[in-house]
Structure 1
Amino acid sequence: MATKPRTTTIGLAGLGNLGLPMAHALLDDGWPLTVFDPAPDKARSCVDAGAKSAESVEELASADVLVLVVPDDAAVESILLGERGYFATSTDGAVIVHSTILPASAQSLAATAREHGTRFIDAPVSGGSARARKGDLTVFVGAEREDFDAVEDVVRAVGSEVLLAGAPGTGAATKLANQMMMFSALAGAHEALDVAGKYGVAPETVLKAVATSTGASWVATNWGFFDDTAAAYSAGGTAVKDRPWSKDLFEFLTAARTAETSAPFAALLSQLLPDYVESHARDAAAGEEHDHDGKDNDD
């Protein structure tokens, strides 16, 4: 199997915050695309750009490559497994899972895929919706080399930085490591700005100060990114528990438990960070800064 734009067909399930711009990036690159989302209206812009719209996820089984950008392990498994799942109904196909799932889930799904003669590529992404639209994401790949080689052109249509970390499961593990590092910095930034604010230092002053200091981070450089992301998730109807600062931290803890190792900092973050992000996003939308105890800063 060798994928080629304009001849290899792609079915993409999941037109959310990342899936929709990724679909447009694939269309820009010339891939024949059929899309599916439980909310059919989300497919409209893709159809206008030349894609076909499927009425059910089962209709994607005829695609040469199935791309999944759905919320979680359960959604991925519901599409791939069972008598009507992709593994059972496709022939000589390939699955690229851009969803953030557990490493153990990726390993199990890859084993099942091999039993059905299907290629499985564990390929979670990082970068946000704007980079997704430009095909500029970072992609963490866990796959057998020959399987990755077979679909590399599809992966590179959405990602400018593509890392083959190892066998299936390593892509998921690398993505979760990235999330843990990022969210640690995000929680620290929230607390730092709160304390500095109590002494009359404006957030923009602190952010400017750390930009050329040892406190610099992607989070500080891109302050406001998560406000915009939370607003996009709210507009799309994504529940808070399914947003990365909730779901991905929970999955990191689950992965640590499966590996029989401790992750006490992640446990603390999972309790604190969702409220930090959601509270700040709400107040950013209202044009005001917010204290994490539920009171305005000027109270």
Structure 2
Amino acid sequence: MKQLDRSAGIGFVGLGNLGLPMVSALVRAGWPVTAYDIRPNAVSAAVAKGASGAASLRDLAGCRVLALAVPDDAAVSALVRTPDLLASLADDPLVVVHSTVLPATAKALGQELADSPRTAFVDAPVSGGFERAERGDLTVMAGANAEALRLAQPYFDTIAGDVVHVGAPGAGSAVKLANQLMMFAALAGAHEALDLAQAYDVDAATVLKVAGTSTGDSWVARSWGFFDQVAAAYDAADVPVAYRPWSKDLWDIVAAARTAGVSLPVAGLLAQTMAETVERHAARSS
């Protein structure tokens, strides 16, 4: 397959908390981006950043890269399995799934597209938050064969500060869910720790200052307030709580564990409690 360069058109579908700043980074680097979302105001926001706006999936015709940052497995599967969409892409197309999906979904889609020699596929969930997405400094967990990864490298060089090839399609999604479980376990512990300290009249800022140079240090503690900002952004975009990472991703982790026959009691507890904790704290902070 011919290597990508920055003349290749990118069709970017899903302009949410990470998708929109990723589009901004791509446009700023000189890629021609056609952006689509079911919400017209999200498309308008992408156009304001320099992308071309798509009124429908038909407007993505001729793009070489199809990048997906849509909410869930059903949306990803429907798009990848839309024959007219894939057939309308330019020669040697690349399909990149940034959405957090079940490993089984990414693996199945990779196997299906492997039967189409003209299409490369990368299971490429990302992590880092909207500020790093805007800077083009995300971490990409890439599940792909060597040829697809080679083809995608110029694109990844624009959106990511770190690209880790973790295995075949499905492996990227598995690593993303593992990362999310570590993060939310730390977040749950931090909330309980601060509640304990505050019960003894010690404010959160003091505890976080101490943790920053102690064994309790974590990205969650150093980035306290991050999830309040994300929740506010989701509120502004009318994203249901069920589709927010502290709800959806944790249930995906439980589902993936069940499929693999792995016992994850901490994940099971967090799936029941984390959404309420995050939403309640965000509401108090607004």
- Does TM, normalized by the shorter one, top 0.5? yes
> Matched residue of 2:132: which SS?
helix
TM-score by length of 2: 0.96
The aligned runs of 1:71-110 (5 Å cut-off) are 71-86=71-86, 88-90=87-89, 91-110=91-110
Amino acid aligned to 2:137: D
Q: Which stretch of the first structure deviates more once superposed, 229-238 or 50-59?
A: 50-59
1:99-154 deviation digits (Å, cap 9, x = unpaired): 11111101100011112231110000011111100101111110001101011110
Q: What's the offset of the Cα at 1:84?
A: 3.5
Amino acid aligned to 1:204: A
2:12 is matched with 12
Is the CA contact 1:15–1:43 (under 8 Å) kept in the aligned structure 2? yes
The aligned runs of 1:232-251 (5 Å cut-off) are 232-251=233-252
Amino acid aligned to 1:108: A
Is the CA contact 2:43–2:54 (under 8 Å) kept in the aligned structure 1? no
Is the CA contact 1:98–1:125 (under 8 Å) kept in the aligned structure 2? yes
> Matched residue of 2:84: which SS?
coil
1:228-271 deviation digits (Å, cap 9, x = unpaired): 01000111111100000101111111111111111111000101
Is the CA contact 1:123–1:172 (under 8 Å) kept in the aligned structure 2? yes
Amino acid aligned to 2:206: T
1:70 is matched with 70
1:218 is matched with 219
Q: What's the offset of the Cα at 1:89?
A: 4.5
Matched-pair identity in %:
49
2:205 is matched with 204
Rounded Cα–Cα distance in structure 2 between residues aligned with 1:179 and 1:37: 25
1:291 is matched with none
Is the CA contact 2:231–2:279 (under 8 Å) kept in the aligned structure 1? yes
**Structure 2 runs not aligned, ≥5 long:** none
Rounded Cα–Cα distance in structure 2 between residues aligned with 1:152 and 1:83: 25
Is the CA contact 1:57–1:79 (under 8 Å) kept in the aligned structure 2? no
1:144 is matched with 145
RMSD over aligned CA atoms reads 1.2
The yes-or-no answer on 1:25 pairing with 2:1 is: no
Is the CA contact 2:57–2:85 (under 8 Å) kept in the aligned structure 1? no
Rounded Cα–Cα distance in structure 1 between residues aligned with 2:219 and 2:123: 25
1:174-226 deviation digits (Å, cap 9, x = unpaired): 11110000000000000111111111111111111111111111100110000
Kindly tell me: are residues 58 and 114 of structure 1, through their superposed partners in 2, closer, same or farther at Cα, counting changes over 3 Å? farther
The aligned runs of 1:215-294 (5 Å cut-off) are 215-285=216-286
Is the CA contact 2:11–2:67 (under 8 Å) kept in the aligned structure 1? yes
Q: What's the offset of the Cα at 1:49?
A: 3.8
1:36 is matched with 36
1:128 is matched with 129
> Matched residue of 1:84: which SS?
helix
